[in-house]
Amino acid sequence: MWLLAFLVWFLSWAGGMYWYLCGRPSPFSEDCVKPAGPMELNQKKRDKLLKQGEWMMSLSMHWLIYQKSKMPLKRLHYVGQLHENSLFKIIFDQITEGQLEFAELDQHFDTVVIGTGKETREYTICSGKTEMEEHLKKQFPDDTEAIEEFFKIMKLSARKTPYLAALKLIPEWLALFLVRSGLANLYSSAFQLLSMNATDLVEKLTSNKDLQVIFAYYFYGTPPRDSSSLINALMLHHFKRGAYYPKGGASEIPYHITKVIQKYGGNVLVRAPVSQILVDSQGAAYGVAVKKGKEEIEVRAPVVISNCGIFNTFKRLLPPEIQVKPEIQKRLDMVRPGKGSLLLFSGFDGTAEELGISAVSRWVFKNNDMDAMLVLMQFFFYHIEGFSVSKILGKEEAPENIPMMFVTFPSPKDPMSQIRHPGKSCMTILTMVNYEWFEEWKDTPVKRRGADYVEYKNRFAKHLFDWACVLYPKLREKLVFQDVATPLTNNFYLGSYRGAIYSTDHNLDRYHMDIMAKNRCETPVKNLYVSGQDMFSCGIIGALHGGLMCASRVLGRMVYIDLLVLKKKLKKRKALELAALTEKKLQ
């Protein structure tokens, strides 16, 4: 009897897998990727594609993407894990048909600067499967065991990350059973790392405060004491096999994706802000209301996917009577707003050689206590468990006392930069700030917020630029342009809730396993799904994971499996091509 039951189960499982893998067409294809064509350098032609607003034609499309700002573009500093036949390389090739090219940066891609004046220490970060670890050991010879252990944790985190995604893709009741029964923790230590704070982890590994900074230097607004050790380990591991930058700049990403969207019957519209998600009397989403000038146009659709974040989706776009529903409030209570950011953009009349700059980015810290620095910048709703702080930066003292910054030069990273903009260079500086410092101007019109707002944000700009000039003395004399983006700027152009470019806060509460299982792409509103950074983690790869998980739910199939099958096919094809080439050489 048991044997018969097992046989029936096995045949059902095998039949289901065969139907899944062979009975339905995969959304991905080996043949869609073609050799990259010549780069389009004509800005008018690029704008024609990237800045479309042709409404009557677009409303008849099979699917649409609406964008509030003038261009469907997100800032990108660099991205990792794009080596040959990596999963992310395959994904980018699929969604751009191989037309998006990336330039690999030099092995030394980051420098961590700690301290000021004579107390300044610099540590270089190099990519490489084994070189990253060995290079750190040379700089911290007394902490080789700590570095070895941290790299083991990095490797474990990367290998077991699919389990975290699985929590959001398997049925919720099953995910919660695995979490609450303790079976998930027994199955993999990755789940324990997920809920362990980064400070506790690094303090167990080493007492060297500088090395502790290295283990957690990718700041995204959450103090290490309140962030997940697994997510922090993934941040560094992401660049272990190299750092990459899109040839032609970040705008190449939406440019080529938009082409593929149009090829398959869709379109991307800019200057088309969604004002409301339409919900019928049965509580199901059936489209969106989109602003066209002073009018609002209803666009109906069987499925609505929101990529503008949980807070924007649930607190701004849903009808008021839906927002107050308990199930919506429960989803909002799972997360809290992320920290705002301020960016300084500078343009220079000079090449990288003339300015003394390179593609290497610098993460700069005034001291080696990241928890204290980030807590110093917290506001009233940020409470760091077990951490006491005697001082919080006030609005007036903040501009001259920012404790950390990220300095990067996009132009030296892009091999097309001097072709498109000969003799010019640019720099971006990013730091984290409180939204509350700028809140008094939130209702003023963009570019007309008043002299006091301009004066206030320029105080940040001066401090950050002066600090950068200590590292790069030749910048000041070649400066020709400067602009500052505050949390209000991010909110207006990117729709970032409270100006948080990394979306909801990436704190330990968000990565509690119970919350991970519940915070999924489906929403309490039928036919409405959420995607992006709020589903997994921050950055372009975190958003990409959010998109893949959302696609899996909407399509009713695990697109990750499709990608892994494709990865295996491509690896086999590559091996056959190399074998054929070797045989030809031997003849």
Residues 426-450: tens digit of each pLDDT:
999 999 999 999 999 999 999 999 9
Cβ(272)–Cβ(53) below 8 Å: yes
Handedness of CA 89, 90, 95, 96 (dihedral sign): positive
Does 244 have pLDDT greater than 70?
yes
User: How many structural domains compose the chain?
Assistant: 2
CA distance linking residue 437 with residue 394, whole number of Å: 8
Together in a domain, 346 and 494: yes
Residue 107 lies in a domain: no
Cβ(72)–Cβ(275) below 8 Å: no
CA distance linking residue 227 with residue 198, whole number of Å: 6
Collapsing DSSP states into helix, strand and coil, what is residue 410? helix
What is the distance of C-alpha 271 from the center of its chain?
Answer: 23
**Least confident window among 160-164, 213-217, 451-455:** 160-164
Cβ(108)–Cβ(360) below 8 Å: yes
Tokens of 411: 């132009």
Together in a domain, 293 and 426: no
Laid out side by side, the sheet with 102-104 consists of 79-80, 243-246, 102-104
Together in a domain, 302 and 401: no
Residue 231 lies in a domain: no
Residue with tokens 């704070």: 197
DSSP for 50-93, written as a single string: HT---HHHHTTSSEEEE-SSSS-------EE--STT-HHHHHHH
Together in a domain, 522 and 428: no
Together in a domain, 442 and 487: yes
Together in a domain, 329 and 455: no
pLDDT bracket for residue 577 (50, 70, 90) = confident
Together in a domain, 386 and 320: no
Residue with tokens 């149009």: 262
Collapsing DSSP states into helix, strand and coil, what is residue 413? helix
CA distance linking residue 503 with residue 532, whole number of Å: 9
Residue 403 lies in a domain: yes
pLDDT bracket for residue 323 (50, 70, 90) = very high
Residue 425 lies in a domain: yes
Together in a domain, 351 and 485: yes
Q: Which helix (H) or strand (E) holds 511?
A: none
Together in a domain, 399 and 447: yes
Together in a domain, 327 and 368: no
Cβ(288)–Cβ(304) below 8 Å: yes
| pLDDT, the chain, mean | 88
CA distance linking residue 324 with residue 208, whole number of Å: 49
Strand ranges in 63-194 using DSSP code E only, listed in sequence order: 63-66, 79-80, 102-104, 108-114, 121-126
Residue 88 lies in a domain: no
- What is the predicted pLDDT for the residue at 57? 46
The mean pLDDT of 286-306, rounded to a whole number, is 90
CA distance linking residue 434 with residue 442, whole number of Å: 13
Residue 474 lies in a domain: yes
* Structural domain for 425, as ranges: 341-499
Residue 420 lies in a domain: yes
105 DSSP assignment: P
Together in a domain, 322 and 345: no
Residue 44 lies in a domain: no
Together in a domain, 479 and 523: no
The predicted-structure confidence for 142-198, as pLDDT tens digits, reads as follows 999 999 999 999 999 999 888 888 889 999 999 999 999 988 888 888 888 888 999
